[in-house]
Amino acid sequence: MNLTHELTPDTVKRHRLLWHVYKMMARTYTFADSLQYTAGLLLLRTISTGWHTQWEVYKQRYGAGSPQVARMMMFHRFQLPEKCSFEYLLLHREKNDIAARATRALRQLDACNPDTLQSIFRDVDFDNCKPGATGGASETIRQSLKYLSRAAFDTEAGAAFHYLLEKLANARENHYKALFVPPAISHLVALLAAPRAGERIGDPVCGCGALLVPTVLHTRARNARLSPDFSAFGQEHHDGGFRLARIHTHLYGLAGVRLEVASSITDPRFLEEDGTLMKFDVAVANLMISLEHWGYTGALADQHQRFRHGLPPRGKGDYAYVQHILATLAPGGRAVILMALNALSRQGTEAKIRQALVEANVIDAVIALPANLFADTAASTAVLILRPSRTRNEVLFIDARQYYQSGRKQHLLRPQDITRITAAYACYENLEELAVCIPREEIARNSFNLSVAPYIRRAAPAGRADVALLRQEIDQLNHALRQTRVTLDTLLQALQDSNNDTDARTVPYTYPPTSDVFEDALAAYDMTPEHSFCAAIRHAIPYISDVFAAAAGEGIQAVYRQRIIRDWKTNTDWQRETDRDVEDLLYTLTSGKSLPITEAMRDAIRFACREAAARIFQ
**What would the DSSP string read from start to end of 131-182?**
TT-SS-HHHHHHHHHHHHTSGGGGS-HHHHHHHHHHHHTT-TT-TTGGG---
The CATH code of domain 177-295+307-471 reads 3.40.50.150
Q: How many CB atoms lie within 10 A of CB 515?
A: 12
Of 231, 374, 360, residue with least CA distance to 290: 374
> Does pLDDT of 178 surpass 70?
yes
Per-residue pLDDT of 197-232, as tens digits, reads 889 999 999 999 999 999 999 887 665 555 555 699
Cα dist from 191 to 125, 185, 419, 433, whole Å: 40, 10, 9, 22
Q: Which residue has the higher pLDDT, 457 or 21?
A: 21
Taking residue 431's Cβ as centre, other Cβ atoms within 10 Å add up to: 17
Mean pLDDT of 253-269: 94
Alpha helices (runs of H) in 194-302, residue ranges in sequence order: 212-223, 239-251, 296-299
**Length in residues, the chain:** 618
**For position 177, what pLDDT does the model report?**
74
β-bridge pairing 329-340 and 363-368 = unpaired
Q: Where are the alpha helices (DSSP H) in 252-306?
A: 296-299
Q: What's the CATH number of domain 9-155, 1.20.1260, 1.10.260, 3.30.70, 1.10.3470?
A: 1.20.1260
- Residue 161, Cβ density class (10 Å: 0-12 exposed, 13-18 middle, ≥19 buried): buried
The three state secondary structure string of 434-462 is: CEEEEEHHHHHHCCCCCCCHHHHCCCCCH
What are the start-end ranges of the H helices in 29-95? 31-62, 67-73, 86-91
Q: What average pLDDT does range 139-147 have in this prediction?
A: 97
In the prediction, which pLDDT does 328 show?
A: 98
Is the pLDDT higher at 576 or at 212?
212
More confident residue, 475 or 66: 66
Q: Do domains 9-155 and 177-295+307-471 have the same CATH topology?
A: no
Q: Which residues are registered as beta bridge partners of 592?
A: none
Confidence of residue 597 (pLDDT cuts 50, 70, 90): low
Helix (H, G, I), strand (E, B) or coil at 26: helix
Q: What is the per-residue pLDDT for 512?
A: 32
What confidence category does residue 539 fall into, taking pLDDT thresholds of 50, 70 and 90?
confident
**Would you give the DSSP letter of residue 333?**
E
Judging by DSSP bridges, how do beta strands 394-399 and 329-340 pair with one another? Answer: unpaired
Residue 515 confidence class, pLDDT cut points 50, 70, 90: very low
Contacts of 344 (CB under 8 A, 6+ apart): 354, 366, 382, 384, 449, 450, 451
- Report the mean per-residue pLDDT for the chain: 84
Q: What percent of the chain has pLDDT over 70?
A: 78
C-alpha to C-alpha distance for 618 and 385, rounded to whole angstroms: 61
What pLDDT score does 461 carry?
44
98-137 burial, b for 16+ CB within 10 Å, e for fewer?
A: bbbbbbbbbbbbbeebeebbbebbeebbbeebeeeeebeb
**So where are the chain's domains?**
9-155, 177-295+307-471, 503-617
Closest CA to 41 of 115, 101, 1: 101
248 compared with 591, residue with greater pLDDT: 248
Q: Are 455 and 397 in contact (CB under 8 A)?
A: yes
- Sorting pLDDT into bands at 50, 70 and 90, what band is 521? very low
**Amino acid 6: pLDDT:** 54
Q: What is d(CA 35, CA 23) in angstroms, rounded to the nearest whole number?
A: 10
At residue 556, the pLDDT reads 76
Phi, psi at 114, each rounded to 5°: -65, -35
Asked if 219 and 232 count as a contact pair (C-beta separation under 8 A), the reply is no
Q: Which residues pair with 438 in a beta bridge?
A: 395
The per-residue pLDDT for 439 is 97
Q: Identify the CA nearest to 435 among candidates 478, 488, 399, 381.
A: 399
Q: Which residues contact 183 (CB under 8 A, 6 or more apart)?
A: 1, 3, 162, 166, 214
Nearest to 321 by CA among 346, 292, 342: 292
Region 152-167: mean pLDDT is: 93
Task: Print burial letters for 327-360: b (CB count within 10 Å at least 16), e (below 16).
Answer: bbbbeebbbbbbbbbebbbbeeebbebbbbbbee
At residue 578, does pLDDT exceed 90?
no
Q: Is the pLDDT of residue 85 over 90?
A: yes
Residues 6+ apart with CB under 8 A from 447: 351
More confident residue, 362 or 254: 362
Answer yes or no: is pLDDT of 170 > 90. Answer: no
pLDDT digits (tens, 9 = 90+) for 385-406: 999 999 999 999 999 999 999 8
- The span from the CA of 246 to the CA of 461, in Å, is 48
Rounded-to-integer distance, Cα 374 and Cα 386, Å: 23
Confirm if 211 and 246 have CB atoms less than 8 A apart.
Answer: no
Q: pLDDT per residue over 416-461, tens digit each?
A: 999 999 999 999 999 988 999 999 999 999 999 999 999 986 444 4
Give the integer Cα–Cα distance in Å for 400 and 369.
5
Mean of the pLDDT values across residues 340-366? 96
Residue 525 has pLDDT above 50, yes or no: no
